[in-house]
Amino acid sequence: MSLPVKQLLSEEQLRAGVTRLSREISQHAQGRPLMIVGVLTGSVVLLADLIRLLDIPLRVGLVQASSYRGTATTPGELTINAELLPDVRGQDVVVIDDIFDTGHTLVGIMAQLESLGARSVRSAVLLRKAERCEVDLAPDYVGFDIPNLFVVGYGLDYNDHYRNLPYVATLDEDEL
């Protein structure tokens, strides 16, 4: 698969953005250990880079979220698989995702973590398409606000391709 892509965020920009996220997250942690929860599969590149910049005690967990897109009139249904998640009871959790689009995925996962007994739940995303937001929640940490374009790379995919691009690129809409 090799459709034309156009670079939106360079490796240097991504490194600076992820470094800023790591500083904000460690400052808020105030010395308490964190449970960093990555949302599969899009967060894996960010997760790997971010945790190596966090010089604080932390544990790592994973959740899988799949949303079966509905039609234009029915919302997609979100399924959360928490089998890979360690015990979060009493933990200060930071959920990590690649992109905040409508926000439904993050809202669902944060509610699940709260119902599992987390002490606090914050969220960090690499990218946000602010104009697409459909929920009453803002991520606590945002790497970059981007326009409403379909993007790939640095973990983000189109049909599971392009996750390995070291930069973030837009895919030509006409090719989708």
What is the set of active-site residues?
101
Regarding 139 and contact with ligand IMP (CB under 6 A), the answer is: no
d(CA 172, CA 163): 16
* Residue 156 touching ligand IMP (CB under 6 A): yes
- Is residue 86 within 8 A of residue 118, CB to CB? The reply is no
Give the residue, chosen from 91, 105, 112, 123, that forms a contact with ligand IMP under the rule CB under 6 A. Answer: 105
The per-residue b/e assignment along 97-123, b for 16 or more CB within 10 angstroms, e otherwise, is: bbbbbebbbbbbbbebbeeeebeebbb
- Contacted by 49, from ligand IMP, Mg ion, none: CB < 5 to 8 Å by type: none
Contact between 143 and Mg ion (CB under 5 A)?
no
Asked if residues 106 and 92 have their Cβ atoms less than 8 Å apart, the reply is: no
DSSP state of 117: T
- Residues 13-52 as x/- pattern, contact with ligand IMP by CB under 6 A: -----------------------------x----------
Residue 38's binding partner out of ligand IMP, Mg ion, none, with CB under 5 to 8 Å set by partner kind = none
Query: Whose CA is closest to 176, among 157, 134, 130?
Result: 157
Residues interacting with Mg ion, by CB under 5 A? 42
Residues interacting with ligand IMP, by CB under 6 A? 42, 97-105, 150-152, 156-157
